[in-house]
Amino acid sequence: MKTIHAIYEQGVFRPTTAVELPEACEVEFEPRVLGKSDDSAHLERVYEILSRRYASGQHDLAARHNEHQP
C-alpha cells in the first residue's frame, strides 16, 4: 500500500488525494507530522552559522583533513 497524505481537521483525518480502499474498511496507522518542528528552527540556525566563511589564514583546509584522524 502506498503512503496516504492527510490533513487532520476537526477530529478527522482527511486524505489530500483519492484513496483506493473499500468503503468503511478499518485501517491502522501511525501519524507522522510533516513540516517544521521545533528542532528545525535550531537546525536552520546551525546551518546558517556553518555557511559563514571565516578567515582562517589557510587557503586549503582540506589539506590537513587527516591530521586528527586515528
Q: Does residue 53 carry a pLDDT above 80?
A: no
Q: 14: Cβ–Cβ under 8 A, 6 or more apart, which residues?
A: 6, 7, 8
- Residue whose C-alpha cell is 500500500: 1
Report the candidate in 66, 6, 61, 62 with the shortest Cα–Cα distance to residue 30: 6
Q: How many whole angstroms from its chain centre is CA 5? A: 15
Enumerate the domain spans of the chain.
6-53
Using a 10 angstrom Cβ sphere, with 0-12 exposed, 13-18 middle and 19 or more buried, the burial of residue 27 is: exposed
Report pTM: 0.43
Q: Residues 54-65: what's their mean pLDDT?
A: 75
pLDDT digits (tens, 9 = 90+) for 5-47: 898 889 999 999 999 899 999 999 888 888 765 666 777 888 8
